[in-house]
């Protein structure tokens, strides 16, 4: 269950909302399920009861108090998780009493407690409205009410068999996750038809400007290029003490400013300056042709990501895990900014999900963080990718590495008992898989066709290399995969280019997390193509021509004579020639 309290000064206005139709007619059958004495007038079920009568009853002690009280209305919502069963009115009444006792509004056995009502107008939540003046004309002591309520909700979840959200109620979780948009911000985004709130869109823009940036000057320039407004707060000495960010509104209302701390805990000015102090490694591309840089950057970043997997080993501390998560966020935001449109949305969604996996109050390990941020900078300077040719296979390679990174993050959080962080990592992995599919579909299809046309001796030789290299269970699973043909073609390409397939398999399989992959064959395919510097799979014949060639091969084999077998391969014609390496094998 989740619960949040807001304060106000208009009792009647709050009641009109609770017993009204809602902002989108979402309120059905509003009625009181519990109250301070069990006899509060219920405008939802008693036609003779009015909102004004209920207002007067709730405000009785406020009026008697005789002095003005700011925000005398206490409004708390309690919502069940969508996966929870529907609770009865009696269940919600009991829960409301326990929450009011925990909050300090109506402690158990306190005859002078505040007045309150619990209104239900939907299956999965109730609203509790109270006034904060007690019968003895003192004000309720509400300091720390949120923590007490959440502790009580944890007990309620376990007693009622509801989804346990206790891991989201820790200080570490609150401080690590992005700052949530308010209800007002959500309604504004909905009214304007925006995909996200101003706060969410601004946080994404600031993270993109920061990803790969080496100093404040570059960061500021990239903010300006994105249209983000920056205000710098300075001390009397002239030293910078804070940042504020805003998106232009284009109307007379003016921009709405957010301090870095209101976006995320790591976007404050001190945290950003500490990030610049850590530094990054400047990229050095091995070829002078900028057209190859995009693919080179993605291939090299994928290698960096795979080298980071051991940060989530059981014997590692949280500092290394936090470093890789924070660095992985920069890689994702940079990849989204430099990727073609077909995958950009999924990458942004993956990055937003991964933000919920961070570990608060942990000083990130400098070496791991610098390595991942350097990979982000390399992607930034490699430039935008087109999604075609070499860029497409490079994108498939780095996305495979990122999917496995999200999976190891999920496993690590699950082992720590962090269920929500683990769920967020799985969500990120799902979005990355969707992006991968868009980039990998065409090249994997070409490779699969080539693999199916391999002569049987070549096919068997690659299969033997797999059996010699991998454990028996992994080899059996891999050879049974649909993507095995693509891997067989890749091994044949590497062999034709002078590489040893067994050595390539050993190195690629040794980079960990193969067993957790959805398709180990696809993972090995992209790793080997990257390690062997193989060019983009693009058969010299069209897919239809390849299918026709395969059919003719089967027909020729069926009617072949013994004398012909010396000149015609019994399992089809030779595979299409491997595309030229274009001089890139030495990269």
- Whether 573 shows a pLDDT value over 90: the answer reads no
Tell me how far apart the terminal alpha carbons of the chain are, to the nearest angstrom.
55
Query: Of 364 and 149, which is predicted with more confidence?
Result: 149
Residue 6 has pLDDT above 70, yes or no: yes
Rounded distance between C-alpha atoms, residue 139 and residue 112, angstroms: 11
pLDDT of 323 strictly over 50 = yes
pLDDT at 548: 55
pLDDT of residue 465: 93
Flag whether pLDDT at 276 surpasses 80: yes
DSSP 438-450: HHHHHHHHHHHHH
Helices (H), 50-144: 51-58, 60-65, 89-103
Tokens of 548: 């026709």
Q: Are strands 116-122 and 229-234 parallel, antiparallel or unpaired?
A: unpaired
Average pLDDT for residues 558-564, to the nearest whole number?
35
pLDDT at 546: 53
* Average per-residue pLDDT for the chain: 85
Per-residue pLDDT tens digits for 108-147 = 999 999 999 999 998 999 999 999 999 999 999 999 999 9
Q: What is the mean pLDDT of residues 394-413?
A: 92
Q: How would residue 488 be classed by pLDDT, with cut points 50, 70 and 90?
A: very high
pLDDT of residue 126: 95
**Is pLDDT of 544 > 70?**
no
Average pLDDT, stretch 8-19? Answer: 93
Which pLDDT tens digit goes with each residue over 282-302? 887 777 677 778 888 899 999
* Structure-model confidence comparison of residues 339 and 133, the more confident one: 133
Which pLDDT score, from 0 to 100, does residue 168 have?
Answer: 83
* pLDDT above 80: residue 447: yes
Q: Please state which of the ranges 186-190, 397-401, 546-550 shows the lowest mean pLDDT.
A: 546-550
Residue 188 has pLDDT above 50, yes or no: yes
Q: How confident is the model at residue 54 (pLDDT cuts 50, 70, 90)?
A: very high
| pLDDT reported for residue 386 | 74
Alpha-carbon torsion angle 562, 565, 567, 572, nearest 10: 140
**Packing angle of the helix pair 520-531, 390-415 (nearest 10 deg):** 130
Between 167-171, 266-270, 428-432, the lowest mean confidence (pLDDT) is in: 167-171
> Using CA atoms in the order 108, 112, 113, 115, what is the torsion angle rounded to 10 degrees?
130
Token pair recorded at residue 103: 């909050």
Residue 383 CA from chain centroid, whole number: 24
What pLDDT, on a 0 to 100 scale, did the predictor assign at position 501?
Answer: 92
Confidence band (pLDDT; 50, 70, 90) for 575?
very low
pLDDT of 236 reads 86
Selection from 236, 202, 232 nearest residue 220 by Cα: 232
Least Cα distance to 73 among 113, 125, 15, 21 occurs for 15
Nearest in space to 296 (alpha carbons), one of 374, 212, 395, 432: 395
pLDDT at 540: 47
pTM (2 d.p.): 0.76
For the cut 50, the answer to whether the pLDDT of residue 26 exceeds it is yes
User: Which pLDDT score is estimated for 547?
Assistant: 54
Identify the CA nearest to 439 among candidates 348, 345, 529, 343: 343
């Amino acid at each position: 269950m989740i619960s949040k309290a807001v304060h106000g000064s208009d009792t009647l206005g709050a009641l009109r909302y609770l017993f009204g139709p809602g902002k989108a007619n979402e309120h059905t059958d509003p009625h009181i399920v519990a109250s301070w004495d069990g006899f509060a007038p219920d405008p939802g079920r008693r036609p003779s009861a009015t909102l004004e009568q209920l207002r007067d009853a709730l405000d009785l002690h406020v009026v008697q108090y005789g002095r003005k009280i700011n925000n005398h209305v206490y409004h708390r919502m309690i919502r069940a998780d969508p996966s929870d069963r529907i609770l009865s009115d009696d269940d919600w009444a009991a829960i409301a009493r326990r929450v009011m006792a925990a909050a300090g509004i109506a402690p158990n056995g306190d005859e002078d407690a505040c007045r309150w009502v619990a209104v239900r107008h939907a299956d999965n939540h109730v609203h509790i409205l109270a006034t904060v003046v007690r019968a003895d004309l003192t004000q309720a002591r509400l300091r720390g009410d949120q923590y007490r309520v959440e502790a009580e909700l944890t007990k309620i979840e376990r007693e009622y068999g509801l989804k346990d959200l206790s891991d989201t109620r820790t200080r570490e979780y609150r401080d690590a996750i992005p700052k949530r948009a308010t209800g007002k911000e959500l309604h504004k985004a909905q009214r304007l038809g925006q995909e996200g709130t101003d706060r969410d869109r601004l946080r994404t823009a600031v993270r993109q400007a920061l990803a790969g940036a080496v100093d404040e000057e570059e960061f500021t320039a990239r903010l300006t290029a994105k249209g983000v407004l920056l205000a710098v707060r300075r001390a009397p000495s002239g030293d910078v003490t804070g940042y504020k960010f805003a998106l232009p509104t284009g109307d007379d209302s003016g921009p709405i400013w957010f301090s870095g701390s209101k976006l995320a805990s790591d976007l404050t000015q001190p945290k950003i300056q500490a990030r610049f102090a850590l530094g990054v490694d400047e990229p050095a591309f091995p070829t002078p042709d900028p057209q190859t840089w995009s693919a080179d950057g993605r291939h090299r970043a994928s290698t960096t990501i795979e080298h980071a997997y051991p940060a989530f080993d059981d014997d590692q501390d949280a500092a290394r895990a936090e470093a890789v998560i924070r660095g992985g966020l920069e890689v994702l935001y940079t990849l989204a900014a430099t990727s073609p449109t077909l995958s950009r949305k999924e990458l942004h969604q993956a990055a937003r999900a991964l933000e919920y996996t961070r570990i608060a109050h942990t000083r990130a390990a400098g070496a791991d963080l610098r390595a991942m941020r350097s990979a982000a900078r390399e992607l930034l300077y490699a430039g935008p990718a087109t999604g075609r040719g070499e860029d497409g296979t490079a994108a498939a390679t780095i996305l495979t590495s990122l999917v496995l990174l999200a999976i190891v993050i999920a496993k690590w959080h699950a082992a720590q008992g962090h269920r929500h962080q683990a769920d967020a990592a799985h969500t990120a992995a799902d979005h990355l898989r969707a992006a991968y599919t868009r980039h990998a579909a065409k090249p994997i299809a070409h490779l699969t066709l080539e693999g199916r046309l391999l002569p049987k001796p070549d096919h068997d030789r690659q299969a033997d290399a797999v059996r010699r290299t991998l454990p028996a269970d992994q080899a059996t699973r891999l050879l049974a995969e649909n993507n095995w043909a693509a891997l067989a073609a890749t091994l044949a390409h590497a062999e034709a280019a002078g590489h040893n397939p067994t050595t390539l398999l050993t190195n690629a399989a040794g980079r960990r997390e193969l067993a957790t992959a959805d398709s180990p064959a696809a993972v090995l395919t992209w790793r080997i193509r990257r390690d062997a510097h193989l060019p983009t799979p693009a058969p010299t014949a069209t897919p239809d021509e390849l299918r026709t060639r395969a059919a003719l091969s089967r027909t020729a084999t069926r009617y072949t004579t013994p004398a012909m077998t010396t000149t015609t391969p019994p399992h089809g014609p030779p595979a299409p020639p491997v595309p030229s390496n274009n001089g890139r094998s030495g990269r």
